[in-house]
Amino acid sequence: MSGLGRFTDRPAAKLSGGMRKKLSLCTNLVHEPELLILDEPGLGVDPLSRRHLWTMLDRFRSQGLTMVVATSYMDEAERCDRILLLEQGRVLADGSLEELLRPAAGRVFTVNAGDTGRGLRELSGILAQIDSVHSVQWLPDHLRLVMNADIAENQLAELLPEGTHLAAAEPRLEDLFVLRTDRRAGEQQFPELARQDRGKEEGLVATGLSVRFGHFKAVDRVSFEAPSGELLALLGPNGAGKTTFMDIVTGKTRPDEGRVIWGERSVNLLKMSEARIAQEGIGRKFQRPTVFEDQTVFANLLMALKNPRGSFRCLFYKSSRDDGARVEQLACEIGLEDALQRKSGELSHGQKQWLEIGMLLAQEPRLLLVDEPAAGMTLAEREHTTDLLKEAAKTRAVVVVEHDMEFVRRLACKVTVLHEGSVLAEGSLDHVTANPQVIEVYLGR
């Protein structure tokens, strides 16, 4: 039922994050509880496995099991009989999906540039200036508007540039959340990250990588390139080899075969320790944010700054005015300038994710490996993260592992899909999601 039957001999520590989620659910269900409380069950789980997970939950719900699910995925919340929207400890809404969406009826529209000759960015800027527009959400080929109040379609059309295509849309739970939290999604402006002239760099070139764990082949002859200044997405079902691939690049796991060449000097990363690889300019952000929760945001960023790390220098280190200025600049870049004196443990999950990205940027990496940055985030936080990663990719190579298809679509980058340790498909998101094999093993539609 959980899809773990062929992994019964594997140690739990060797399972992928999504498989461990399923195992954790099974260990709770085996006791036949009457009440099951689940905290982010879909976090870190690929689309097909998440669908299977909810099929399991629906089966147990039909047998009389009561479940309380905490989730940041609105499509998961929409499957529930009763929904509570919470923010900062306050109940924003409480009721069935039909009851919650009723106030948003007549306030949601889709817009595309039509014959105006304008790009979505320009059109978004125009729409943001209209007082009655509450939020503007970017989608692949159109914008989604949420209005402050009911408005007739013809009245809204009069406010838009001539030639714009406008259509009413059914409200979704995300629309209601944006309205109730009074957040104007898609309007955040990011200062550009400091440009660094690094000359011509070759980036990362991995060829023929293979890794075995006993009889299980986690990575099977994988080749992958991440040129400097490019943003790339790495997709695949849980257990496809994505994490193992990043373990190889960062020196945590040694491959049985293959090589990994890095930078303009074509250095062999497989001959380096984890620490030396980090010094070469390769930074990694894990799925769960790792920050110093008892320290302030300022202190976290200050500790992460790229400075000499010798024992003597660390013992007698004193921050300079330039260090403080750099920390403030980083805080602006990641959107935490107003939280510098807050303890990191007080931040929301999304803010901790941004802080960890900021700590990596403080080390001035030339390759950034980011594991599921959007997991557990709200719509506004995901859009903020999209802009942050796209800006970062202007000065370095950025590789993103993610299961959220809409988030990947917003990144507008090349996609590589792994399955059972091998490259299954490569290309644009539209190209790989139309691949029948990708649909079968990953998307499940």
The predicted pLDDT at position 194 comes to: 42
Cβ partners under 8 Å of residue 263, min gap 6: 201, 202, 203, 280, 281, 366
With 0-12 / 13-18 / 19 or more C-beta atoms within 10 angstroms meaning exposed / middle / buried, residue 47 is middle
Which stretch of 58-72, 132-146, 243-257, 350-364 has the lowest confidence by average pLDDT? 132-146
Which CATH code of 3.30.360.10, 3.90.1150.10, 3.30.565.10, 3.40.50.300 fits the domain covering 204-443? 3.40.50.300
The predicted pLDDT at position 190 comes to: 40
Is residue 380 very low, low, confident or very high in pLDDT (cuts 50, 70, 90)? confident
Superfamily of domain 5-71 in the CATH hierarchy: P-loop containing nucleotide triphosphate hydrolases (3.40.50.300)
The predicted pLDDT at position 81 comes to: 92
Residue 10 has pLDDT above 90, yes or no: no
The predicted pLDDT at position 122 comes to: 76
Phi, psi of 118 (to 5 degrees): -95, 150
Q: What is the pTM of this model?
A: 0.72
CATH 3.30.70 assigned to domain 106-170? The reply is: yes
> Rounded mean pLDDT of the chain?
84
The predicted pLDDT at position 201 comes to: 52
Which amino acid, 44?
G
Residue 156 has pLDDT above 90, yes or no: no
The predicted pLDDT at position 133 comes to: 84
Same fold, 5-71 and 204-443: yes
> pLDDT tens-digit profile of 305-336?
887 666 656 665 677 888 889 999 999 989 99
What is the full DSSP assignment across 319-373?
A: --HHHHHHHHHHHHHHT-GGGTTSBGGGS-HHHHHHHHHHHHHHT--SEEEEE-T
Mean pLDDT of 253-269: 92
The predicted pLDDT at position 434 comes to: 87
Q: What residue ranges do the domains of the chain occupy?
A: 5-71, 106-170, 204-443
**The total number of residues written for the chain in this structure:** 445
Which stretch of 141-155, 158-172, 286-300 has the lowest confidence by average pLDDT? 141-155
CA distance 202 to 315: 36
> pLDDT tens-digit profile of 177-210?
877 775 544 444 444 444 444 444 568 999 999 9
The predicted pLDDT at position 188 comes to: 42
User: Which of 287, 245, 246, 240 lies closest to 442 in space, CA to CA?
Assistant: 240
Q: Order across the sheet with 231-235: list the strands.
A: 282-285, 367-371, 397-401, 231-235, 414-419, 422-427
> pLDDT tens-digit profile of 24-36?
888 888 888 889 9
